[in-house]
């Protein structure tokens, strides 16, 4: 199984996908005139301006849900893997992916808002919806929907729960070894997997409102706590910081681990972590209640900065400044070996050891605690994404019990990931991420060349912003955007209400 997974990943994560991710980010950065820089202040203002409605969640809640998908095990274990296999220079390429990816995140999330629908009293949207409406290719939308249900409902939850299980075991020990139908498992992992699944079930059976309410409290709190701990470690070693930054930039363009390895691992883990272009973020973006589609696109662009430039960078600086890493070379060789050869790079141990070396007694429990919440909220986001794509499919084919089956399968995958080894979980997760990225980036590029809806929305929003309007409107018909039925009806209702109000006056 592992050999098949590795072979499949070699095809999916070929250099072509790496160039596609970087190229799409650069393409949209140029076309939007680097919206991720120009409108940074507006992103911050919009973050706290929206309000929830009966059918939608607030901009901040949508940010929290999408951040719960972005901020996960990739920020702790994924950064360690990027450094372990790509060298310190991989961190630079993660930054590049984040900077360019912010423009991609704006584009895909704005598309999700433009083409969203109201489904059973909730706003729903995402790549499957905009592929059908903007591209007119329902078959392509179905392929994405099915791939996403498999990725988010089956493959990816195990990656997150695997890191939780490993972190708990490293902190509290494995306990007794128990023979089960799944093989010999540690008692600690069995207990951890059971607790995670029970809490998960309680929340996902409560629907998207419960998911949003939980994530809007937990995600900001844990991200801030994590950055504070990293800040303390950096300050205690502040004299080393200039050298670490120089090493990151120098290694990004030198063959320490091979420039290709640095770029490859940096881009792979960057896409895995911040999810820009992957097609997951647009699902939460579509659920937000906003006045104009571009508003949520800008908020989602900001979430990429939070994920990579803050949280991922915090992990990287902790690992590099304390020297708690190895860099793997060909075969069993090491280009840099600061730790024992048995310390796995694709887990949380680098980060735990980094904190433990500076703040003894804190590293293991803190990372276990952080990974639990980061990874758990990411699993919640995966459920919501998979459920949204099931909702898309049920617009055409009503299959009773699909959502219930998704919940059970996702809970089973979560438990499996918590108790089994890491390599297979990461490999399956990489397949899921890669498939979604291929489909989504190709799709949004085709949509751009067909009608440029996200760019038209940005120009419209900027024009209204410059005019100083108090309440934004979005008229897709005027902008030449077709099939944006939700916004067409909303604009018509607003105009009708204004005419009625004037008539009464």
Give domain limits for the chain.
1-38+57-466, 475-504
Lowest mean pLDDT among 50-54, 102-106, 306-310: 50-54
Domain 1-38+57-466 has CATH 1.10.287: no
pTM: 0.85
Residue range 475-490: mean pLDDT, rounded: 92
pLDDT of 423 reads: 65
Tokens of 94: 């993660």
Helices (H), 13-155: 15-31, 35-38, 40-47, 59-70, 73, 79-86, 89-114, 127-130, 138-150
- 393: Cα separation from own chain's centroid: 23
Helix axes 363-394, 156-172, angle to 10 degrees: 160
* Interior angle at CA 93, CA 89 and CA 94, nearest 5: 110
pLDDT of 53 reads: 47
Higher per-residue pLDDT: 35 or 428: 35
Tell me the three state secondary structure of residue 344.
coil
Q: What is the pLDDT of residues 247-306, one digit of tens each?
A: 999 888 876 655 566 777 777 667 666 667 778 889 888 888 888 999 989 988 888 887
Q: Check: CB of residue 441 under 8 Å from CB of residue 104.
A: yes
Number of H helices, E strands in the chain: 25, 6
pLDDT of 61 reads: 67
Mean pLDDT of the chain: 82
pLDDT of 59 reads: 61
pLDDT of 307 reads: 78
């Amino acid at each position: 199984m592992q050999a098949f997974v590795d072979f499949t990943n070699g095809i999916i994560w070929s250099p072509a996908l790496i160039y596609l991710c970087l190229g799409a980010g650069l393409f949209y950065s140029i076309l939007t005139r680097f919206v991720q820089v120009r409108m940074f202040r507006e992103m911050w203002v919009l973050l706290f301006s929206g309000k929830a409605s009966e059918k939608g969640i607030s901009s901040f809640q949508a940010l929290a849900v999408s951040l719960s998908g972005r901020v996960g095990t990739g920020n702790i274990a994924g950064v360690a893997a990027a450094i372990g296999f790509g060298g310190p220079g991989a961190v630079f390429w993660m930054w590049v992916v984040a900077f360019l990816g912010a423009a991609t995140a704006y584009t895909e999330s704005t598309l999700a808002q433009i083409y969203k629908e109201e489904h059973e009293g909730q706003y729903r949207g995402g790549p499957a919806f905009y592929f059908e409406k903007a591209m007119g290719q329902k078959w392509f939308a179905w392929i994405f929907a099915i791939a996403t249900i498999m990725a988010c409902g089956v493959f990816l939850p195990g990656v997150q729960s695997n890191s939780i299980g490993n972190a708990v075991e490293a902190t509290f020990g494995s306990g007794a070894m128990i023979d089960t139908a799944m093989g010999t498992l540690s008692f600690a992992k069995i207990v951890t997997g059971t607790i995670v699944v029970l809490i998960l079930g309680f929340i996902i059976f409560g629907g998207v409102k419960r998911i949003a309410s939980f994530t809007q409290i937990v995600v900001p709190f844990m991200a801030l706590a994590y950055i504070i701990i990293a800040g303390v470690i950096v300050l205690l070693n502040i004299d080393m910081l200039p050298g670490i930054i120089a090493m990151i930039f120098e290694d990004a363009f030198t063959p320490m681990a091979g420039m290709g390895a640095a770029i490859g691992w940096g881009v792979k883990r960057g896409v895995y972590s911040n999810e820009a272009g992957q097609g997951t973020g647009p699902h939460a973006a579509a659920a937000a209640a906003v006045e104009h589609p571009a508003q949520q696109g800008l908020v989602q662009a900001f979430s990429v900065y939070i994920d990579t430039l803050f949280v991922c960078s915090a992990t990287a600086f902790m690992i590099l400044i304390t020297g708690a890493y190895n860099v793997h070379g060909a075969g069993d060789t090491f280009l840099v070996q600061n730790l024992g050869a048995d310390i796995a790079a694709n887990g949380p141990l680098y980060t735990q050891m980094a904190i433990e070396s500076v703040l003894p007694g804190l590293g293991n429990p803190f990372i276990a605690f952080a990974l639990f919440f980061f990874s758990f909220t990411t699993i919640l986001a995966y459920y919501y994404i998979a459920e949204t794509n099931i909702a898309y499919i049920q617009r055409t084919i009503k299959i009773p019990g699909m959502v219930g089956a998704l919940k059970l399968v996702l809970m089973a995958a979560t438990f499996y990931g918590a108790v089994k080894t890491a390599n297979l979980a990461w490999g399956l997760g990489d397949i899921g991420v890669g498939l979604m990225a291929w489909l989504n980036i190709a799709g949004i590029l085709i949509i751009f060349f067909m009608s440029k809806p996200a760019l038209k929305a940005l120009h419209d929003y900027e024009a209204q912003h410059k005019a100083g309007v108090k309440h934004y409107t979005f008229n897709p018909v005027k902008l030449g955007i077709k099939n944006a039925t939700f916004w067409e009806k909303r604009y018509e209702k607003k105009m009708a209400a204004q005419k009625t109000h004037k008539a009464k006056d």
